[in-house]
Amino acid sequence: MSSVRAELEQGRGPIGSQSGYDVRGKDPLSNEERFGDSVAGAMQSDTGSLGAAEEGRGVVTRYITVEVAGSLTSLASGGQSAKWSVAQNADAIFQPSQADRGFSDVVGKCDLQSAVLHTMEVETIQSNFPCSVGVNITGVSGQSTSREGHKYAMIVTSDTRWSGSKKLVEVDDMTNNEYLRKYPGMTPDKISSAGIVTVPGEAYVFVDANHPIIEMLSVNAQALQVNITEADMIDGRWYKVESQVVKDCAELLDKQLLQHLPIVNLKDFTVTAERLGKVAWDRCEEVTEGLVGDKRLDPLVERMMQKVNKLTVQLKVQYRFM
């Protein structure tokens, strides 16, 4: 950035210094509508990116077997939810290997905390629990609901044996996919810092020409009364933009698009199981209906509470990296 310092002293003012700019103001066409349209529309064009991914990288597929086991009594002693987690094995499970197409140059080096979920399917469910179990899975929104209104990725009824293919997650939003393709690595935590150079003591910053904020400003040039085509580009790469403009655009981009991207933290991939409705695991009335007498002293009830139960779920997880 040899010529950046010179730009501080001369040249046109920063983008956004025009009197008409007010990304937060109220007008007949709301800012949310304006930027929502710009994000969706701009993704149809093809521009460069801050760092394109290797061409031809495919979707990584992993088959994961989850097991939650224990007696109702032992599970109750561990709290309301039983937890299965990849823990320290996340890299061994999810990092691409030589067998994964297009990842030979980054084997073991991908950012598992910012993986992009493509699809997730359940292929096998087996449970000998005497009660229904609510299951939650990292990256899956609650699709099933208990009578009490608690949401779960899925609900497994008692004594279940099932195999097939049921999609829990399927990403097909073309706007999201185009954003991920055009701006690899530009995750929500980086949108306000990557490709942006601050200038101490000044009310403007320098923004990389291939930053999504520049695309937003270009598409909304007329509404915001800014003109990217007439702005000076420094070193063939940087635009000088008012700091407040960058802040407002980043917030709107984060709110309307980035927070809806299917990004998942595979380092913390977790499956939790609990008694449906969040009742205690050892609540015997729910699993001993029809028995008479003092249920807690009944030998049959005692055996039921001490019997080791197992829930097994096989998942097919497909994901990419930004």
Residues 43 and 188 in one domain: yes
Read off the pLDDT of residues 8-36 as tens digits, 9 standing for 90 and up. 344 455 555 553 444 343 332 233 333 34
Specify the amino acid at residue 47: T
State how many domains the chain has. 2
> Do strands 270-275 and 154-156 pair parallel, antiparallel, or not at all (unpaired)?
unpaired
Specify the amino acid at residue 199: V
93 domain-assigned: no
Residues 241 and 178 in one domain: yes
Percent of the chain at pLDDT above 70?
Answer: 70
Q: What is the pLDDT of residue 284?
A: 77
69 domain-assigned: yes
Q: What is the pLDDT of residue 105?
A: 80
180 domain-assigned: yes
Residues 242 and 277 in one domain: no
Q: What is the pLDDT of residue 260?
A: 65
Residues 193 and 303 in one domain: no
Percent of the chain at pLDDT above 90?
Answer: 32
> Looking at the predicted structure, is the pLDDT value of residue 127 above 90?
yes
Q: What's the CA dihedral at 286, 289, 292, 298 to 10 degrees?
A: -50
| HEC string for the chain | CCCHHHHHHCCCCCECCCCCCCCCCCCCCCHHHHHHHHHHHHCCCCCCCCCCCCCCCCCEEEEEEEEEEECHHHHHHCCCEEEEECHHHHHHHHCCCCCCCCCCCCCCCCCHHHEEEEEEEEEEEEECCCCCEEEEECCCCCCEECCCCCEECEEECCCEEEEEEEEEEECCCHHHHHHHHHCCCCCCCCCCCCCEEECCCCCEEEEECCCHHHHHHHHCHHHHCCCHHHCCEECCCEEEEEHHHHHHHHHHHHHHCHHHCCEECHHHCEEEEEEHHHCCCCCHHHCCCCCCCCHHHCHHHHHHHHCCEEEEEEEEEEEEEC
Q: What is the pLDDT of residue 63?
A: 96
> Looking at the predicted structure, is the pLDDT value of residue 2 above 70?
no
Q: What is the pLDDT of residue 69?
A: 96
| Residue 197 vs residue 34, higher pLDDT | 197
Q: What is the pLDDT of residue 203?
A: 81
Phi, psi dihedral angles at 219 (to 5 degrees):
-65, -35
Q: Which residue among 216, 245, 260 closes a domain?
A: 260
Q: What is the pLDDT of residue 36?
A: 41
Q: pTM, whole model, 2 decimals? A: 0.65
95 domain-assigned: no
Q: What is the pLDDT of residue 40?
A: 39
Residues 68 and 137 in one domain: yes
22 domain-assigned: yes
Residues spanned by the domain of 16: 4-54+174-260
Read off the pLDDT of residues 132-187 as tens digits, 9 standing for 90 and up. 999 999 999 888 999 989 999 999 999 999 999 999 988 765 455 667 667 766 77
Give the mean pLDDT of the chain: 76
168 domain-assigned: no
Q: Which of 116-120, 176-180, 240-244 has the lowest mean pLDDT?
A: 176-180
Q: What is the pLDDT of residue 12?
A: 55
Q: What is the pLDDT of residue 156?
A: 96
What Cα–Cα distance (Å) separates residue 28 from each residue in 31, 33, 304?
A: 9, 10, 66
Residues 74 and 112 in one domain: yes
Q: How far apart are CA 41 and CA 240, in angstroms?
A: 24
Average the pLDDT over 64-87 and give the result: 93
Residues 141 and 266 in one domain: yes
